[in-house]
Structure 1
Amino acid sequence: MSDAAPGTMPRHVAIIMDGNGRWAAKRHLPRVAGHRQGVETVRVIVRAAGELGIEYLTLYGFSSENWKRPAEEVSDLMGLLRLFIRRDLAELHQNGVQVRVIGERDHLEPDIVALIDEAETLTRDNHRLKLMIAFNYGGQSEITSAMRRIAREVRAGSIDPENITPETVSAHLDTAGVPDPDLIIRTSGEMRLSNFLLWQSAYSELVFAEALWPDFTPDELRAAIGEYRRRSRRFGATSSDDVPRGEG
């Protein structure tokens, strides 16, 4: 966890990018048009996050439940991921952005997996902004997979069950080595996490923005951060003064 003092900038901001379909429907456009405009917003917000000095930015791009959508829409989303990596990777690398993709890769096409591997390898040593894209990701599935890994280590004798702590679980998640999100933003006015970073969000501040994702601007991002900075993060204590600075 980050410093609890009011006024502190969040180190890690996570965003549930919601509302592409509704944005398109309002304009009598196909859903893919909303997703395409959503990718443009990703580019703008990634740049803004870097300019604001955010260290970690996690974007919820495609959930493990999204496979239930029409095949044509799923195909369009996969194509947009391909396009984003091919078109933007060089600029992201030049700007010092480290790219990391979390989520299951078993159902992804080989060329998409190869593009993800290329992006992660090329940008591995960048440190200006760490960009995590949650793609084919689900929080419950992530925790279940972590439990399996821990169980295998217990069976092998490398972990004593009595020594399993929350830190042990965190170290086996897709986000191992990344601080938990200080701030989670969801666009489009919906007020739920939708299976996103369930373990990691235990003490996150939540901000629900009314703007649909394609309409989400750097000003909206700054407003959400401003709301975060006005809050006192107590982590279960009676006041922020009771929480040691820099805890976690």
Structure 2
Amino acid sequence: METAASARVDLPVQPVHVAIIMDGNGRWAKARGLPRTAGHKRGAEAVRRTVECAREMGISYLTLYAFSSENWKRPEGEVSDLMGLLRLYLRNEVKTLHKNGIRLRIIGDRSRLGPDIVSLIEESEAKTAANSAMTLVLALSYGGRQEIVAAARALAADVAAGRLDVAQVDEEALSARLFTADIPDPDMIIRTSGEQRISNFLLWQCAYAELVFLDVLWPDFSRDHLIAAIRDFHGRERRFGATGG
């Protein structure tokens, strides 16, 4: 295994928070005449590689879009297979995450997940809560619009109950009611597979994120792809709307 120093190569300071839309498992499998499940399994291996590399490179937060709100519309068999892979990940990988000082956080609508999965999530989050080497955020049953609606409802309830004045409803108040309230906004969002869209991912949080689209299917995503994306990130001027182009 590479050391942290060698993994950083000659890159400048790493972005604090990298988020990835992991796309292309199905196409990877189809191109090889394999069932979609095979693509998801290889995708899980790419997750392991990416988490390891991100930690070695000194990235503080890594968010992976693992299962969207819209993914519930997929065929029942595929959803069942994905939930099975999730169970395996939570049972088998959390020990490794904990050993490497990685905190696990899950964001999304847990009400649609099976009770056993929710229990595994709670156990995993509790076990790794004190870790500080890196925070791995998995977005499960997650949708950006749904998250904003839930935050707006929470604000409305607080106003109706008299806990909050209407004049106090601002960006900070809404951000505090998002799943990511204690997580910094992403500096960069990577999407694999060549598609160039956000797909309902971190819509509020990505306001000033740099977007990097890579023409590689997720199961083939490697350390070199992550480094290339970060090089791209460092080649951009981030003005946050302060100056004109």
**TM-score, with structure 1 as normaliser:** 0.93
Structure 2 match to 1:200: 205
The answer to whether structure 1 residue 185 and structure 2 residue 190 are counterparts is yes
Find the partner of 2:139 among 128, 134, 138: 134
Find the partner of 1:167 among 144, 154, 172: 172
Structure 2 match to 1:19: 24
Determine what percentage of the aligned residue pairs are the same residue: 59
Structure 1 match to 2:72: 67
Output the CA distance in 1 between the equivalents of 2:116 and 2:172: 34
Structure 2 match to 1:113: 118
Find the partner of 1:218 among 214, 223, 233: 223
Output the CA distance in 2 between the equivalents of 1:220 and 1:96: 24
The answer to whether structure 1 residue 94 and structure 2 residue 82 are counterparts is no
Structure 2 match to 1:9: 14
State the Cα distance separating 1:8 from its structure 2 match.
4.4
Find the partner of 2:160 among 148, 155, 164: 155
Q: Deviations over 1:60-80 (max 9, x none)?
A: 000010011000000000000
Output the CA distance in 1 between the equivalents of 2:53 and 2:142: 24
Paired positions, count: 235
Q: Deviations over 1:104-162 (max 9, x none)?
A: 01111110000000110000010101000000000000000000111110011111111
User: Which secondary structure does the structure 2 equivalent of 1:136 belong to?
Assistant: strand
Q: Residues 135, 230 of structure 1: CA spacing in aligned structure 2 closer, same or farther, 3 A cutoff?
A: same
Q: Deviations over 1:146-204 (max 9, x none)?
A: 00111110011111111111111110000011100000000000000000000000000
State the Cα distance separating 1:9 from its structure 2 match.
2.2
Structure 2 match to 1:30: 35
Output the CA distance in 1 between the equivalents of 2:185 and 2:28: 30
Output the CA distance in 2 between the equivalents of 1:47 and 1:239: 38
Output the CA distance in 2 between the equivalents of 1:125 and 1:31: 36
**TM-score, with structure 2 as normaliser:** 0.94
Which runs of 5 or more residues in structure 1 are unaligned? 1-6, 241-248
Structure 2 match to 1:40: 45
User: Which secondary structure does the structure 1 equivalent of 2:66 belong to?
Assistant: strand
Q: Is the 8 A contact 2:68 2:140 kept in 1?
A: yes
User: Which secondary structure does the structure 2 equivalent of 1:81 belong to?
Assistant: helix
Structure 2 match to 1:246: none
User: Which secondary structure does the structure 1 equivalent of 2:93 belong to?
Assistant: helix
Output the CA distance in 2 between the equivalents of 1:117 and 1:24: 32
User: Which secondary structure does the structure 1 equivalent of 2:111 belong to?
Assistant: coil
State the Cα distance separating 1:19 from its structure 2 match.
0.1
Output the CA distance in 2 between the equivalents of 1:150 and 1:124: 27
Output the CA distance in 2 between the equivalents of 1:163 and 1:137: 27
Q: CA RMSD in A?
A: 1.3
Amino acid at match of 2:214: A
Which runs of 5 or more residues in structure 2 are unaligned? 1-11
Structure 2 match to 1:244: none
